[in-house]
Amino acid sequence: MFNLNLFDIKLETNTIGRNFIYLDEIDSTNSFLLDKNNKIYEDGTVVFAEKQTRGRGRMNRIWYSEPGKNLNFSILITNKYFFGKNLNLLNLGVSLAAANSIERLSLLHTNVKWPNDILINNKKTAGILLEANSHGSKIERLVIGIGINVNQTSFKGDFNYPPTSIKLECKENIEREKLLAEILNNFEEMLLKIISKPESVSVDWRNKCDMFGKRITVKQENKLLTGIFEDIDDSGYLILRTQKRKEKIHFGDVRIA
């Protein structure tokens, strides 16, 4: 069982997670926050579920997670500052905040993979899905969904990238309450940093990514690109050096070629 008291003691934020909704089961925590019928408006609301029956991943994939073992949650952002060009930086910032939190609690080394996966020993331990509700071309609410494999020890099925969990890598049970509070604490700090020192976010992200200069493939729906992972730009887009030119990549699945 998730100990709400322990989580509350460790939470040091002003906004993020102060409105905390704990659910035993839901289709998807992202869908829950995107659904206006649920009438949730408070900035920084966090919805946490022990079980998702239709957990979603990036590029229309299913997100599998064993009930009661992991962290599956979504954060509502209503601050319009993050809706424009800072959106991609936010994407990088979330993975950075979560990766740093995992390191702090497990003492493991983590890496980030563009755009927002977290790897331990080259296996995926967490994924992030940003989704928005729009009215015309205007974003009305932004939802950041985070799935972290914490104490799950077996993974069955087909995965786009080899999966792992924190427990599998450090051989110890991790207190989910402490990890969640740590992530939300770090995430709130990250939001302030994106506003005050955005360039430092991409610098920190670069330091946690070991793909620079490597030959990679980028899979985009029905297109496959190959080239060198040259850099990320100030907005967090990937710069791929192909044989012909440098291409700015907005989305896709990246892997070492």
Helix (H) or strand (E) run with residue 181 in it: helix 176-196
Please provide the distance, in angstroms rounded to a whole number, between the alpha carbons at the two ends of the chain.
Answer: 41
List the beta bridge partners of residue 139: 134
Asked if residue 129 lies in contact with residue 56, where contact means CB atoms within 8 angstroms, the answer is: yes
Is residue 93 near ligand BTN by the rule CB under 6 A? Answer: no
Candidates 7-15, 23-31, 78-86, 89-97 — which segment interacts with ligand BTN by CB under 6 A?
A: 23-31
Question: In this structure, what are the phi and psi dihedrals at residue 132, rounded to the nearest 5 degrees?
Answer: -135, 155
Is residue 128 near ligand BTN by the rule CB under 6 A? Answer: yes
Q: According to CB under 6 A, which one of 16, 20, 28, 82 is a site residue for ligand BTN? A: 28
Candidates 70-78, 97-105, 200-208, 241-249 — which segment interacts with ligand BTN by CB under 6 A?
A: 70-78
Q: According to CB under 6 A, which one of 127, 198, 227, 252 is a site residue for ligand BTN? A: 127
Q: According to CB under 6 A, which one of 15, 19, 63, 103 is a site residue for ligand BTN? A: 63
Q: How far is the CB of 257 from ligand BTN (least distance, A)?
A: 20
Q: How far is the CB of 40 from ligand BTN (least distance, A)?
A: 15
Is residue 57 near ligand BTN by the rule CB under 6 A? Answer: yes
Is residue 77 near ligand BTN by the rule CB under 6 A? Answer: no
Q: How many residues bind ligand BTN (CB under 6 A)?
A: 20
Is residue 52 near ligand BTN by the rule CB under 6 A? Answer: yes
Candidates 35-43, 139-147, 165-173, 211-219 — which segment interacts with ligand BTN by CB under 6 A?
A: 139-147
Q: In angstroms, rounded to a whole number, what is the distance separating the alpha carbons of residues 140 and 142?
A: 7
Minimal CB distance residue for ligand BTN: 127
Helix or strand or coil: residue 11? coil
Q: According to CB under 6 A, which one of 11, 17, 30, 205 is a site residue for ligand BTN? A: 30
Q: Which of 97, 132, 135 is nearest to 116 (CA)?
A: 97
Asked if residue 50 lies in contact with residue 68, where contact means CB atoms within 8 angstroms, the answer is: yes
Q: How far is the CB of 35 from ligand BTN (least distance, A)?
A: 12
Q: According to CB under 6 A, which one of 17, 44, 93, 145 is a site residue for ligand BTN? A: 145
Q: In angstroms, rounded to a whole number, what is the distance separating the alpha carbons of residues 153 and 155?
A: 7
Helices 87-106/176-196 angle, 10° precision: 140
Helix or strand or coil: residue 194? helix
Is residue 67 near ligand BTN by the rule CB under 6 A? Answer: no
Q: Is 103 exposed, middle or buried (0-12, 13-18, 19+ CB in 10 A)?
A: middle
Contacts of 108 (CB under 8 A, 6+ apart): 102, 120, 166, 169, 170
Binding region for ligand BTN (CB under 6 A) = 28-30, 52, 55-58, 61, 63, 72-74, 117, 127-129, 145-147
